[in-house]
Structure 1
């Protein structure tokens, strides 16, 4: 059975222009072509007329690049919503907290999710964990997610690739199955 027959929803998390300012987020972003991969997936979802949900982060901090008053709040061109595709605004890491995402999914009878977006170790991870806890069958697309370098609690620097891979490893076979865009497009 093809994935499309299960009416999977594509969840696109926080693909906002504010993330273009890499230094603000820690620099050295991995998966520089993640948006291209997301766009490929989105194009396929639209062609198959499968449900798409755009998630945007509206930071409560006025100086955040993702504050609604900042141009960085805007969704990147590669995955811009079209008419009929819902945009869900959140203020915390999980797309399920303080939003109607779960109600929308449940109302539409959606049980399978495909998750892409920014950043792997923050909003993507938190949303994926909650989706798994809610009982959704999830696929997290490794090359359609990305993150930045992080500074550890003792001041050590953790490379974005390491942050990305450890985040995916923590989620895989616990809250989701982690696959590539190529594999997803074969399955759908």
Structure 2
């Protein structure tokens, strides 16, 4: 785990109330929110930048459709008034959001990514961040996903989907560590 710069940014992705909807299915990492809160508290105590990313869906049947409670941040992970909030309409938090510009304007080069869904918005954002030249770290126990059925109809347990997504990221895009390892580097 590389030493974190004093301006390493914590990106908290899509931790909105809609993630608690039973219709999303069975998930892994039941303690992910606890790890996210530990990281958020450490970031705040060290005065490092925090970016809260919120998904605003274009699909009326989404848990993130505007104007419903699912769009709101989970209470334990609410942004403070001075923390940056990014709204996105696609999984990748860099697409059409101004996030890259915001980070560059503050000379931020290191990103620590947590949130949901591991194989969707977390992976898309981490891949783009890596491709754009940021030093990206994904915190494995501060992310989670859901069981997923593949195109052939096979159901994959969330644990397997999570592990494969993190393995894909670790090949070329991001470091993958635990919350304990990150907190040790602060």
In which range does the TM-score fall when normalised by the shorter chain?
over 0.9
Could you say which residue in structure 1 is the equivalent of 2:12? 12
Could you say which residue in structure 2 is the equivalent of 1:181? 179
Alignment of 1:1-188 (within 5 A): 2-5=3-6, 7-22=7-22, 24-25=23-24, 27-188=25-186
Counterpart Cα distance in 2 of 1:88 and 1:177: 23
Instruction: Tell me if structure 1 keeps the 8 A contact 2:5–2:110.
Output: no
RMSD of equivalent CA atoms: 1.1
TM-aligned CA deviation for residue 2 of structure 1 = 3.8
Paired residues in the alignment total 185
1:18-52: CA deviation from partner (whole Å, max 9, x where unpaired): 01013x22x11001111110000000000000001
Counterpart Cα distance in 1 of 2:161 and 2:124: 14
- SS of the counterpart of 1:3? coil
Counterpart Cα distance in 2 of 1:4 and 1:152: 39
Counterpart Cα distance in 1 of 2:128 and 2:3: 25
Instruction: Tell me if structure 2 keeps the 8 A contact 1:142–1:180.
Output: yes
Q: Which runs of 5+ in 2 are unaligned?
A: none
Counterpart Cα distance in 2 of 1:77 and 1:167: 27
- SS of the counterpart of 2:62? coil
TM-aligned CA deviation for residue 177 of structure 1 = 0.4
TM-aligned CA deviation for residue 63 of structure 1 = 1.8
- SS of the counterpart of 1:19? helix
Counterpart Cα distance in 1 of 2:76 and 2:16: 10
Instruction: Tell me if structure 2 keeps the 8 A contact 1:96–1:102.
Output: yes
1:71-104: CA deviation from partner (whole Å, max 9, x where unpaired): 1001111211011001110000100001010000
Counterpart Cα distance in 1 of 2:150 and 2:137: 29
Instruction: Tell me if structure 2 keeps the 8 A contact 1:36–1:78.
Output: no
Counterpart Cα distance in 1 of 2:38 and 2:137: 16
